[in-house]
Amino acid sequence: METRIYTEPDQFDALGDQWARLKEEHPRLRIREAAAKLGVSEAELLATQIGESVTPLRPEFKTMFEAFPKLGTIMASTRNEWAVIEKTGQFDNVELGKFMGVVLDPNIDLRVFLTRFKYAFAVVNHDHPRGPLRSFQFFDEHGDSIHKVYVKKGGNVEDWIGLVEYFRADSLEQFEIAHPDEPASPEPKTAEDIGAFQEAWRNLQDTHDFFPMLREHGFQRVQALENAPEGFAYQVDNDAVTAVLQKAAERQLPIMVFVGSRGLIEIHTGPVNKIVEMDTWINVLDPEFNLHLQRAGVAQTWVVKKPTEDGIVTSVELFDQDGGTIAMLFGERKPGIPELESWRELVAELAAA
């Protein structure tokens, strides 16, 4: 695995100059897009602004998350290559262990995998049209964004400043960015392997057991769907996500939307209302929930059925060309309550179409 190591300030100076020239040519270019054009990561570009608009923070991620309820109203944002989810609410009910945990506010619903976190920065965007935009931003070993927490209007700016001072790092000593490995190809499976896997799938009791089942049997996710028991997974058109969102809005059907980075999954639960198509993007633009999904990145869309103690749970799952998960959609549900029949009817319409 190739690693870029920054030990001298002039390395950041040179990269910062390249970014400045790029911004002059493309004033509206977002930082993630700029990083891609320059062949670096988003975290590397932020590091060029240390001492100006960016402050490096000590990697005390658990303690930091536990302090975020002080911030009041925030916007939590998580993204991968093809989807962005943004939820506004309170960062409350934080329950973190050493390696993982959850945030369980009614609006801010997160699954956190702390072992994937590597760097944290406090960032002030002075160019924001509504005044300085303050955030905490977290990155993995590749310099890719894991999660961002923005202080919203009505949030506690003084507490944000206090947390920045408390977690401030003396310096960014040795900054290393590991180049990600190429996605591994699925290992071939024998008929015996597939039979044992299908039996385990039919005997599932909880949706949370699905990923451990994949790991136990050595199946990648798309490979698992391709080898699912009959009737438990099938492909639909890649425009299905647009139909799901539009029909859910028309029928006021509450749904769940899961979008994850390498280190965190963010979840929306509830209705969707304003659905906007823009070029190749499908967007949800509601007051406390935004979703931006790049349909051009969706290479496969699957309907997946998982047995549970409460009956079958049905999801619509989107994957990119490498088999990476872009987003998953479910009908709103809680443990102990069967899946909404109206959600099953909507998903059945996808297959019919």
Q: Using pLDDT thresholds of 50, 70 and 90, give the confidence band for residue 19.
A: very high
- AA identity, residue 333: R
- Tell me which residue of 47, 40, 103 sits closest to 74, measured CA to CA: 103
Specify whether 271 is located in the same domain as 172: no
Specify whether 80 is located in the same domain as 196: no
Residue 95 forms part of a structural domain: no
Specify whether 203 is located in the same domain as 329: yes
Last residue of a domain, one of 156, 178, 200: 178
Residue 106 forms part of a structural domain: no
Question: Which segment of 21-25, 199-203, 313-317 scores lowest on mean pLDDT?
Answer: 21-25
Domain holding 198, by residue range, is: 191-352
Specify whether 220 is located in the same domain as 316: yes
Residue 196 forms part of a structural domain: yes
Residue 229 forms part of a structural domain: yes
In whole angstroms, give the CA distance from residue 249 to residue 275.
7
Specify whether 161 is located in the same domain as 210: no
Alpha helices in the chain (DSSP H): 9-25, 31-38, 42-47, 61-67, 157-167, 191-202, 210-217, 221-226, 240-251, 341-352
The per-residue pLDDT of the chain, averaged, comes to: 94
Specify whether 261 is located in the same domain as 328: yes
Residue 104 forms part of a structural domain: no
Last residue of a domain, one of 154, 178, 202: 178
Helix (H) or strand (E) holding 285: strand 281-286
Query: What pLDDT shows up at residue 264?
Result: 98
Share of the chain above pLDDT 90, in %: 85
How many domains, in total, are found in the chain? 2
pLDDT at 18 over 90: yes
The whole-model pTM stands at 0.95
Query: What pLDDT shows up at residue 272?
Result: 98
- What average pLDDT score do residues 101-130 get? 92
Query: What pLDDT shows up at residue 129?
Result: 67
- What average pLDDT score do residues 328-345 get? 94
- What average pLDDT score do residues 258-273 get? 98
- Cβ(222)–Cβ(319) below 8 Å: yes
Specify whether 267 is located in the same domain as 164: no
Q: Three-state DSSP class for 353?
A: coil
How do residues 318-330 score in pLDDT, each as one tens digit?
A: 999 999 999 999 9
Query: Which residues pair with residue 149 across a beta bridge?
Result: 76, 136
- What average pLDDT score do residues 97-104 get? 96
pLDDT at 48 over 90: yes
341 CB neighbour count, 10 Å cutoff: 9
How do residues 209-234 score in pLDDT, each as one tens digit?
A: 999 999 999 999 999 999 999 999 99
Specify whether 132 is located in the same domain as 254: no
pLDDT at 163 over 90: yes
Backbone angles phi, psi at 169, to 5 degrees: -90, 145
CATH classification of the domain holding 127 = 3.40.1570.10
Contacts of residue 42, Cβ cutoff 8 Å, sequence gap at least 6: 31, 32, 35, 139, 143, 144, 145
For the chain, counts of helices (H) and of strands (E)? 10, 20
Burial environment of residue 170 by CB neighbours within 10 A (0 to 12, 13 to 18, 19 or more):
exposed
Q: Using pLDDT thresholds of 50, 70 and 90, give the confidence band for residue 164.
A: very high
Q: Using pLDDT thresholds of 50, 70 and 90, give the confidence band for residue 1.
A: low
